Structure 1
Amino acid sequence: MTRLDATDPDLGASGAEVLASRLIHCDVETFAEQYWGARPLLTRGADDYSDLLSPAIVDSLLSEHGLRTPFLRVAKNGATLPDSSFTAPAGVGAGIGDQLDDTALWRQFADGATLVLQALHRTWQPIVDLSSRLGTELGHPVQANAYITPPQNQGFDAHYDVHDVFVLQTVGSKRWIIHEPVLTDPLRDEPWSDRKAQVAEAAAGEPLIDTVLEPGDALYLPRGWLHSAKALGEVSVHLTLGIHVWTGYALAEQLTRSALDLLRDDPDVRATLELGVDHPLALDLIRQRLLDAIAVADPGVRFQQVRRSQARPAPLGPLAQLAALNGLTEQSRLRLRPALTARIEGDRLTSRAGWLALGPTEKQAMQALMTAGESSAADLGTDFARRLLRAGIVLPADR
């Protein structure tokens, strides 16, 4: 189920428009009902993605940003190359041996290797912003990788992912061949490599989709759908947004763990089993206690903790934050830090930035800030505003 709430302060201005304005042309309700988690969707001319990745941006990221592994992979003929084939120490003051060697990288690329820029949702600000907003909008964490493939080459054989993806073609063209799943809705511990023979057999058959993506095209693939892609007559660059979807199974895991937490205080469960115990009888007792615990367990807190841990709040600049703190006046405008997933639980504010105890007036002020997304220091109370700045909960409104 998608979670689209334009009033959510985590989304920021126009945050709820990411899916509809940049990734699909159908309305969001149609996407949610007919495509989400069910079948692929190809959108021609979805948007101009040159602000996210261009040849100049790729070259800058690879040669000027001091990237280290694992922020880059190199693949050729369906296999990932060893890090040693494209890394080296970077000289005086930067002798760490896993930094990218752009000369070695160039030679691999010229020889047909695909370059994979990993975790761009952490390293490149336009993609950080897009991924954060989309993840908040969908209610599922988002990662971002870029694939740079030389002409007439293919980095990876047919495979499936254990997460949904949006493929955004930014440069050049790439032929995509897509087959139906050999395993419907694979879980995180069910990778395609465990089913290589099935995948290879399915990939040899007639594809469901055989198409070429051009710049501006977007392709949505639910987890499990087999796919392979080959660059055509020029360098291809595409961005993959990986949606690490929450599943019923994952929620069941949180429920079970919450029930086990309750059983830790059950003396019968903690007790040592008798010598020569009749294990079927003991198992019946434990099964009943576990069922009783599941009936009353609340996985909500654990679910929120895990959910918060799977993504980061919006970037915070230490120098700008210190200047805002030192220059704070009653007229200062502050905004809730985006992608914080802030929640008030009792007398405590919990978020991706940690937790903060709240007094009664602070709780009321915090609720107002979470509703509006922005407030003055006077409305928050200047002492509370300082606490929020120090805790990284709010940012200057002009940032």
Structure 2
Amino acid sequence: MAEEHGIRDSLSWLIGSTSKTEFFESYHEQRALHCGHGDAARFAELLGIGRIDEIISSTDLKPASLSMARSQPPIKRSNYTFSNGNIDRGAVIRHFQCGATIILNQLHLADARLARFCRSLEDLLSCRVQSNVYLTPPGSQGFGTHYDDHDVFIVQVSGAKKWRLYERPVDNPYSGEGFKAGVHDPGKLEQEFLLQAGDCLYIPRGLMHDASSHGDEPSLHITTGLIVRKWADLMLEAVSEVALRNPKFRRSLPAGFARPDFDEESLEEQFRELAKEFAEQADFSEVLSFFRASFVRERRPELQGALVDASLPVSNADLYERRPSLQVLLRHDDSEVVIVCPGGNIHFEKEALPGLQAFLAGEPFSKADFSDLEEEKRTETIRRLSAFGLVRRVSQ
């Protein structure tokens, strides 16, 4: 099938005067970038302490949605949970008063603004983006020196934190190759600075760091994590794809290969031969297409307003537009058109292709763009696009 796709840009809000080209060439997966924007309210629209208060006091707090941390003295989960594992909200507030950091895990799954923020970054970076929120009381430190196994953007919403950056004991650690106290030495202190409200800090995975709140007010920041697919993931998928077509890769290792008297030289010869065949037979385009489609399908759809729109008629004058930060792929052949979108695939008749291309282009469109379809099918096509969160009605 022929394939078309489109993405939107959203990175500049975080990195400001640093160009995207400079970021990817000089910082991404290499070194930290401190972006001092000089605008305390820059990220205030994303979140505030009032919203944190509302979540803790009034929402259904799942046990995994909240945790607490304090460098010294450490805090145990049992200190702020009941015996059944549920969150003790009063204990959370009390331990915050005593210097513990409140952590709201994966808040983008429950907060619409953070969800849109993460979705906009996913659109540009082609990786899963998550957000954990940290509220640290004045003069406190949540964690000791450590590194993360994924890249992060620290978005300072309010208050301030003093950050200390050290060396990288592991260069781009693999997922799950986490920090181990006593094993990974932070090395020498490389940078120390104050992250003020409205500033942003990029930290590549593997870089040792720690931070403590500064000043008389609590520090509120969002750790935006980039969960990426790596070259190793792509290569493993490519090997699997070759193995489906080449039975040599599905044969067992020779009997007795683990014995000390086994002929290792002959085993290596077979290995080198298979590696050569893999290089000749690996289909990069097929594997990349699979990765693209998998990434898009795994995204969460944006459905806000879809239920309201479902109760309204679709007239010839109504205009619709592609939702912002929507990641989709459009594939088509002589028999049908398929839109790969968050949640799965949607199939359409081949006559819908011109209208779907107009939708993909991002400009407002109407039933008239589906002129190759019968009237009833034009309406049904737009309703399907709306129901699955791909389009929204344009206000007139």
Same fold, TM-score > 0.5, yes or no:
yes
Partner of 2:209: 227
**Structure 2 letter corresponding to 1:197:** G
Q: 1:145 to 1:296 in 2, by over 3 A?
A: closer
User: Are residue 323 (structure 1) and residue 311 (structure 2) matched?
Assistant: yes
The alignment status of 1:383 with 2:380, answered yes or no, reads: yes
Shift of 1:26: 2.1
**Alignment correspondent of 2:331:** 345
Q: Which runs of 5+ in 2 are unaligned?
A: 258-262, 371-377
CA positional deviation for 1:44: 1.3
Q: 1:36 aligns with which of 28, 34, 38?
A: 28
Instruction: Give the 5 Å matches for 1:31-180.
Output: 31-45=23-37, 47=39, 48=41, 49-77=43-71, 81-88=75-82, 98-180=85-167
1:112/1:290 Cα in 2 relative to 1: closer, same or farther (>3 Å)? same
TM-score by length of 2: 0.82
Distance 1:22 1:322, change over 3 A: same
Paired position in structure 2 for 1:210: 192
* AA of the residue aligned to 1:61: I
Counterpart AA for 1:378: A
Q: For this pair of structures, how many residues does the alignment match? A: 370
How many angstroms does 1:46 deviate by? 5.5
Change (3 A) 1:376 1:76: same
Q: Structure 2 residue aligned with 1:21, among 6, 13, 17? A: 13
- Identity rate, percent: 25
Counterpart of 1:4 in structure 2 is: none
Supply the RMSD in Å over aligned alpha carbons. 3.0
Q: For the residues of structure 2 that align with 1:155 and 1:27, how far apart are their CA atoms?
A: 32
Question: Is 1:357–2:347 an aligned residue pair?
Answer: yes
Query: 1:32 deviation in Å?
Result: 2.4
8 Å CA contact 1:66–1:99 kept in 2: the answer is no
The Cα of 1:63 is off from its aligned counterpart by: 1.4
Structure 1, unaligned stretches of length 5 or more? 1-7, 90-96
Q: For 1:158-199, what per-residue CA distance to the aligned partner results, in whole angstroms no more than 9, with x for missing partners?
A: 111121111121222211110121111112132112xx3343
SS of the residue corresponding to residue 335 of structure 1 reads strand
Return the offset for 1:84: 4.0
* 2:253 counterpart of 1:256: no
Give, in whole Å, the separation in 2 of the partners of 1:34 and 1:270: 42
Q: Is the 8 A contact 1:340 1:353 kept in 2?
A: no
Q: 1:308 aligns with which of 292, 296, 299?
A: 296
Any conservation in 2 of the 1:158–1:199 contact (CA below 8 Å)? Answer: no
TM-score w.r.t. the length of structure 1 is: 0.82
* Equivalent residue in structure 1 for 2:174, among 164, 171, 187: 187
Contact 2:321 2:391 in 1 (8 A): yes
Deviation at 1:257?
Answer: 2.9
- Structure 2 counterpart of 1:118, which letter? N
Q: CA deviation at 1:286?
A: 5.4
Q: Deviations over 1:70-107 (max 9, x none)?
A: 11111122797554432349xxxxxxx55433211111
Q: Aligned equivalents of 1:20 and 1:388: distance in 2?
A: 30
CA positional deviation for 1:65: 2.1
Maintained 8 Å contact 2:36/2:198? yes
Q: In 2, are the aligned partners of 1:169 and 1:215 still within 8 Å (CA)?
A: yes
